[in-house]
């Protein structure tokens, strides 16, 4: 039986996405002290990567659905960007990517480009 994809995403990914957005926004507001910033980025990268992997594992084939794939992808790509360090990918870009994943989750439906025109 297939898992409830939205329930899995809400449980495994949403809290981690929200925490990453909040901590990166706070870091940006604080002026991005390099020693503190790198530690936060590493910690968030690790949490995002683990959450994305756990969600993908839990959902199996459902992780291939475009909406689910985009949400998991938001966490995975943010983790990769954060692991590169603050000088490579700006925190604002990482926050925007995470925000896209959260918007997909809160929409609770397929974006128009993924909807079947026959429906």
What is the pLDDT, as a whole number, of residue 2? 56
What is the pLDDT, as a whole number, of residue 79? 94
What is the pLDDT, as a whole number, of residue 58? 94
What is the pLDDT, as a whole number, of residue 34? 57
Residue-wise DSSP of 28-70? HHTT--HHHHHHHHHHHHHHHHHHHHHHHHHHGGGGGSHHHHH
Domain layout of the chain by residue ranges: 5-107
What is the pLDDT, as a whole number, of residue 111? 54
Q: What is the pLDDT of residues 17-39, one digit of tens each?
A: 999 999 888 887 777 555 667 88
**What is the pTM assigned to this prediction?**
0.81
What is the pLDDT, as a whole number, of residue 10? 93
Other C-beta atoms closer than 10 Å to the C-beta of 24 total 23
Q: What is the pLDDT of residues 82-100, one digit of tens each?
A: 988 766 888 888 899 999 9
Check the CA dihedral 65-19-42-99 and report its sign. Answer: positive
Between 33 and 58, name the one with better pLDDT. 58
Q: What is the pLDDT of residues 102-119, one digit of tens each?
A: 998 887 655 555 544 444
């Amino acid at each position: 039986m297939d898992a409830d994809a939205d329930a899995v995403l809400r449980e495994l990914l949403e809290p981690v996405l929200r925490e990453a957005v909040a901590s990166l926004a706070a870091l940006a507001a604080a002026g991005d002290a390099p020693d503190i910033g790198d530690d936060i980025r590493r910690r968030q990268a690790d949490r995002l990567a683990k959450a994305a992997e756990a969600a993908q594992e839990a959902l199996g084939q459902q992780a291939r659905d475009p909406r689910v794939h985009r949400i998991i992808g938001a966490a995975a790509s943010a983790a990769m960007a954060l692991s590169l360090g603050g000088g490579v990918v700006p925190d604002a870009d990482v926050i925007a990517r995470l925000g896209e994943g959260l918007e997909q989750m809160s929409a609770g439906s397929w974006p128009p480009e993924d909807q079947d025109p026959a429906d």
